[in-house]
Structures are given as structure tokens and as C-alpha cells.
């Protein structure tokens, strides 16, 4: 089969920047590397990472039964959440390395649920692992995303790594042949586990994970804080570079408790809820709240794998989330916290 000069050039650029993204690099280099890959991916797929595809297309999210799903342009835009993309890549690499070193049967079977148009969390890793080591099934709810990923796979000549391209809702998907996976990757979340179906997807896909299988991310934690809200600042546009604001805000807050820690063990109890029944998380007694604070906040931390984590403002997914004012009623009676798991999932309190 003849390979055109242009596609050879695309492959060379892909390999160069992908290898970079799988190594240890400083933040400015992460930004440059992700931008270069985004430039290449968007050119080849004609899908650019933007918040809304056109002036007339304001709605960039659609509701589904188990949460909001982002459209392919927004999914592409997620790739430009630089530290998110970098740390997920590093975390998945470390997990694959660990599994191969532990002598797991090869190739490792990986399900990537919610690929977006670039399958961006797995493509770069094809430059450091062989198709004998990893076999990936790609799944997304949008056919246009799968079609776009297909273009990248053929442009970079990566067909040998992929054994399925499935258009399905990951909260309902049943794999053929009773296959169990070594690794299930899904980043289908927003801050504080709201709006998007991450918990429903992990709850459903848990049954298809091998007993020693792993989720990426390994754990998602949402903590409750009380805050002197009027003293807090919002981070700069380039939130991931703004350590100053993070430090400033920390001085005006106090952690109360952890509300959710979603991992492959805990997720099994997170079943769909309805208007009569929400999932109870915790009751916090009044003595835990202090009158000097004015608001309740949710802070998200993502443990991608082991020590590779995303903390506040390192990613859009870990921005602070204002939950409610801290009023006299809460100071007197305390507050109960619930998770609502329907087409608009979120933590609620009352």
C-alpha cells in the first residue's frame, strides 16, 4: 500500500508530539504540545475544539436519559483543557505499565467510553505501546465522533490497536461475547459530578471490569467546604496557571467533609434515582458549620491513577462549585446531602 507524503508527514508530527505528551514536561510545553496535536486533529477531522460550532448553534449540549452529553465540538474543546489531557495521558500510561509489569495477560483489553472526535486520551499512547500490548474498543454516543476518530486512526495508520467502534449509550451498552476489560476509561464528567453521566456510566460498566480491572479515573472525590464567599476571587482565564488565586481562596475556607468518593468499589450503590427518592450521602450536624462563613462550596479532586491527580483549578473539571448560602437555618439544624442520578445529575442538599 502506498503512503502519501502528506500522510507520512501527519504521522511524523503525531508521533513527535504524542511521545512528548507521554513524558515528563513542564506546563508551557504541555500547552504547546496539546495545541500542536489539536491543530493536527482538527485539520484531519474538520472538527475544531470550540464551545459552540457556529453562531446559530447555541445549544452545545443535549440531554440524554442519564445525564447531559456534550456535542463533538465541545468534546474536542475538552482536549484543550491542557493539564487534564496531560495528566490523564500520564495516568493511563502508568496504569498500563503497571499491568504489563504485573504479568497481566496480553493484550490488555481497554474500553474507552466517550472518545469524543479525537480519542485523545489513548491515541498518544500508541507511540509507546504496541498493538500486542493494548487492544482498544472505542465507544461514543455520537456517530460523528466515531467517524472523526476513524479518520485519525487511518491517517496515522493505527488500525491494529482498535477492535471496535461502537455507537452506543455507555450507560446501557452490553459488550458482545461477555468480554471483561482490564481497563475502562471514561471522562464524561463536569465539576462536582454534575450534569454529565460519569457516575451512571461507571455504575453500569463496573460489571464488565475484570476483578483486578481498573477505572480511569481511579477515584473522583467531591468535598464540602464552608467559605467566606465575598473574600474569594475567581481564577484568571488561564486557571491552570493561577496558583496565586488558589492560595488566596484557601485562606478563606474550611473543609467540612468528603461527600462522594467514586471508585470501582463505591460506584456500585449509585443507581438511578427518581423524584421520590434521592441517594442519601451524609447528614452534617449544626456544630460543624460556623457563623463566620457565608457559603457552602463543592471542590472536586480527580485521582487519575495513584499519585497523578487534578486538584482545584488545574482543570475545568476541578473548578469550585457554589452549592448554597450558609444561613441561620443550616447553623441551627444542620443539613443533609444527596446525589440525584437522573438526566440532570448533581449533589443536592436540604
Ligand X SMILES: C[S@@+](CC[C@H](N)C(=O)[O-])C[C@H]1O[C@@H](n2cnc3c(N)ncnc32)[C@H](O)[C@@H]1O
User: Does residue number 217 form part of the binding site for ligand X (CB under 6 A)?
Assistant: no
User: Does residue number 22 form part of the binding site for ligand X (CB under 6 A)?
Assistant: no
Closest approach, Cβ 344 to ligand X, in A, equals: 13
> Whose CA is closest to 259, among 304, 222, 289, 205?
222
Beta pairing, strands 219-227 & 209-216? unpaired
Q: Quick count: other Cβ atoms within 10 Å of Cβ 78?
A: 21
Which residues lie closer than 8 Å to 86 by C-beta, 6 or more apart? 21, 25, 30, 33, 34
> Whose CA is closest to 30, among 317, 241, 185, 234?
241
Beta pairing, strands 335-340 & 279-284? antiparallel
How many residues interact with ligand X (rule CB under 6 A)? 24
Figure out which of the listed residues 18, 22, 104, 188 binds ligand X, where binding follows CB under 6 A. 188
Closest CB to ligand X among residues 10, 69: 69
Closest CB to ligand X among residues 47, 224: 47
The grid cell for 76 is 474536542
Q: What is the DSSP string of 267-285?
A: GGG----BTTB-EEEEEE-
DSSP conformation class of 237: S
User: Does residue number 216 form part of the binding site for ligand X (CB under 6 A)?
Assistant: no
User: Does residue number 135 form part of the binding site for ligand X (CB under 6 A)?
Assistant: no
Closest approach, Cβ 87 to ligand X, in A, equals: 11
Figure out which of the listed residues 37, 111, 134, 141 binds ligand X, where binding follows CB under 6 A. 141
User: Does residue number 169 form part of the binding site for ligand X (CB under 6 A)?
Assistant: yes
Closest CB to ligand X among residues 33, 227: 33
Closest approach, Cβ 34 to ligand X, in A, equals: 10
Closest approach, Cβ 143 to ligand X, in A, equals: 10
The distance in angstroms from the start CA to the end CA of the chain is 64
User: Does residue number 21 form part of the binding site for ligand X (CB under 6 A)?
Assistant: no
Whole-angstrom Cα distance, residue 158 to residue 169? 25
User: Does residue number 75 form part of the binding site for ligand X (CB under 6 A)?
Assistant: yes
**What is the crossing angle of helices 5-21 and 27-45, to 10°?**
150
Dihedral of CA atoms 33, 305, 216, 25 in degrees, nearest 10, equals 0
User: Does residue number 120 form part of the binding site for ligand X (CB under 6 A)?
Assistant: yes
Q: Considering only 32-40, 74-82, 233-241, 342-350, which stretch makes contact with ligand X by CB under 6 A?
A: 74-82
Figure out which of the listed residues 20, 152, 158, 187 binds ligand X, where binding follows CB under 6 A. 187
Whole-angstrom Cα distance, residue 235 to residue 274? 36
Figure out which of the listed residues 30, 37, 70, 125 binds ligand X, where binding follows CB under 6 A. 70
Figure out which of the listed residues 90, 121, 152, 296 binds ligand X, where binding follows CB under 6 A. 121
Q: Which helix (H) or strand (E) holds 18?
A: helix 5-21
Closest CB to ligand X among residues 138, 256: 138
Q: Considering only 13-21, 75-83, 156-164, 296-304, which stretch makes contact with ligand X by CB under 6 A?
A: 75-83
Residue ranges in contact with ligand X by CB under 6 A: 64, 69-70, 75, 78-79, 113-116, 120-121, 139-142, 145, 169-171, 187-188, 197, 201
Amino acid at each position: 500500500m502506498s503512503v502519501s507524503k502528506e500522510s507520512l508527514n501527519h504521522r511524523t508530527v503525531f508521533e513527535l508530539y504524542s511521545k512528548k505528551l507521554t513524558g515528563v514536561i513542564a506546563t508551557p510545553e504541555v500547552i504547546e504540545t496539546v495545541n500542536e496535536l489539536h491543530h493536527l486533529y482538527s485539520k484531519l477531522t474538520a472538527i475544531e475544539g470550540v464551545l459552540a460550532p457556529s453562531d446559530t448553534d447555541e445549544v452545545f449540549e443535549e440531554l440524554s436519559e442519564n445525564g447531559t452529553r456534550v456535542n463533538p465540538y465541545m468534546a474536542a474543546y475538552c482536549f484543550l483543557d491542557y493539564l487534564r489531557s496531560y495528566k490523564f495521558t500520564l495516568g493511563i500510561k502508568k496504569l498500563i505499565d503497571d499491568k504489563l509489569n504485573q504479568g497481566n495477560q496480553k493484550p490488555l483489553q481497554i474500553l474507552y467510553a466517550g472518545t469524543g472526535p479525537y480519542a485523545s486520551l489513548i491515541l498518544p499512547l500508541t507511540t509507546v505501546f504496541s498493538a500486542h500490548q493494548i487492544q482498544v474498543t472505542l465507544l461514543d454516543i455520537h456517530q460523528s465522533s466515531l467517524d472523526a476518530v476513524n479518520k485519525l486512526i487511518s491517517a496515522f495508520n493505527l488500525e491494529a490497536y482498535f477492535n471496535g467502534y461502537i455507537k452506543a449509550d455507555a450507560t446501557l451498552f452490553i459488550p458482545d461475547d461477555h468480554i471483561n476489560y482490564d481497563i475502562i476509561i471514561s471522562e464524561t464528567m463536569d465539576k462536582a459530578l454534575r450534569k454529565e453521566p460519569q457516575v451512571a456510566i461507571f455504575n453500569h460498566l463496573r460489571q464488565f471490569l475484570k476483578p483486578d480491572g481498573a477505572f480511569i479515573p481511579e477515584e473522583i472525590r467531591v468535598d464540602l467546604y464552608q467559605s467566606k464567599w465575598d473574600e474569594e476571587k475567581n481564577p484568571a482565564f488561564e486557571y491552570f496557571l493561577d496558583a496565586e488565586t488558589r492560595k488566596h481562596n484557601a485562606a478563606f475556607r474550611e473543609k467540612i467533609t468528603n461527600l462522594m468518593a467514586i471508585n470501582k468499589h463505591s460506584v456500585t450503590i449509585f443507581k438511578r434515582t427518581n423524584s421520590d427518592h434521592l441517594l442519601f450521602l451524609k447528614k452534617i450536624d449544626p456544630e460543624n458549620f460556623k457563623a463566620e462563613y457565608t457559603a457552602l462550596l463543592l471542590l472536586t479532586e480527580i485521582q487519575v491513577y495513584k499519585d497523578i491527580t487534578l486538584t482545584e483549578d488545574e482543570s475545568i473539571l476541578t473548578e469550585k462549585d457554589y452549592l448554597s448560602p450558609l444561613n441561620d437555618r443550616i447553623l441551627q439544624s444542620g443539613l443533609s446531602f444527596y446525589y440525584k442520578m437522573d438526566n440532570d445529575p448533581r449533589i443536592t442538599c436540604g
